[in-house]
Amino acid sequence: MTPDTSTARVWDLPVRLFHWLLVALLGFSWWSGEHHDMDWHRLSGCTILALLVFRIYWGFAGSRTARFSQFVRGPRAALAYLRTLGKRPYQAADGHNPVGGWSVIAMLAMLVVMVTAGLFAVDVDGLESGPLADYVSFDTGRAAAEVHHLVFNVLLALVVLHVLAVLFYLVGLRHNLVAPMIHGRRKTGAAAVAARLGASPWKAAIGVAIAAGFAYAVSKGFRF
């Protein structure tokens, strides 16, 4: 019997680029911060800011599976989904499942707080600072630096949970979450009819322009 290899698109290119660029930039931000290379650290942070602005925009204007309205569900939906994990065979969600959706929201929220705090942060000597540090007092800048560091640790914990969840799906449920985030497709079964993603290139271009323009303005401290 020939195995069913029907596939459908589940992630658009902007979502996939956002995911992997964010992974790379978070690692680079940690490295540049640890080596006190603050020019690169600020550049990396502003690039992450651009990614976040784009992802929030894409959560409203993007493809079907990218929209917040598609994967942000209430507690009942999350609990109902958790109860299905014991059933076999596992039925993959169309995009983020209700629990994964809240994981995405938590990570985005922590990233927004971390980046925002970094924009106003000041080091102990007052020599290195974020691009918006001039708008706050030294004490406020130091508090922002502490928040920036604390939230990074919280974000690391969320990343660890995310990796453990990916491993659980791979080993426990025999479901690969990584491959679709690379090539954008997953197996569906011959009888499945997949809805179009509906990713609009011109909407993506508008989002990129908005994100890049905002991040550039912030990097200059809104001074031109």
- Beta strands 7-9; 185-187: pairing state: antiparallel
Closest CA to 30 of 16, 18, 44: 44
* Cross-strand partners of 7: 187
What pLDDT is attached to residue 1? 40
Tell me, yes or no, whether 33 lies in a domain.
yes
Is 74 within a domain? yes
Residue 92: pLDDT band with limits 50, 70, 90: confident
Q: State the DSSP code for 194.
A: P
The type of residue at 106 is: A
What are the Cα distances from residue 37, in Å, to 32, 114, 138, 193? 5, 18, 21, 50
Residue 195's pLDDT is: 67
Cis status of the peptide bond prior to 89, with omega within 30 of 0: yes
Q: Which residue has the tokens 């009819």?
A: 193
Quick: pLDDT tens for 130-189: 999 999 999 999 999 999 999 999 999 999 999 999 999 999 998 899 999 999 998 765
Q: Provide the domain count of the chain.
A: 1
Query: Is residue 3 domain-resident?
Result: no
Residue 70 lies in a domain: yes
Residue 5 predicted with pLDDT over 70? no
Q: Return the pLDDT at 99.
A: 94
Domain of 23, CATH number, reads: 1.20.950.20
Number of Cβ within 10 Å of residue 30's Cβ equals: 14
d(CA 190, CA 144): 53
Query: Which residues, in sequence order, are bridge partners of residue 186?
Result: 8
109 lies in some domain: yes
Count of beta carbons in the 10 Å neighbourhood of residue 93: 17
Cβ atoms of residues 12 and 184 within 8 Å: yes
Please give the average per-residue pLDDT across 195-224, as a whole number: 94
Q: Is residue 61 part of a domain?
A: yes
Each residue's pLDDT tens digit, 61-90: 999 999 999 999 999 999 999 988 878 788
Residue 68 maps to a domain: yes
> Is the pLDDT score of 190 beyond 50?
no
Is the residue at 5 inside a domain?
no
Range of the domain at 165: 10-219
pLDDT tens digits for range 20-70: 999 999 999 999 999 999 999 999 999 999 999 999 999 999 999 999 999
Contact 71/96 with Cβ under 8 angstroms? yes
Per-residue pLDDT reduced to its tens digit, 100-139:
999 999 999 999 999 999 999 999 988 899 999 999 999 9
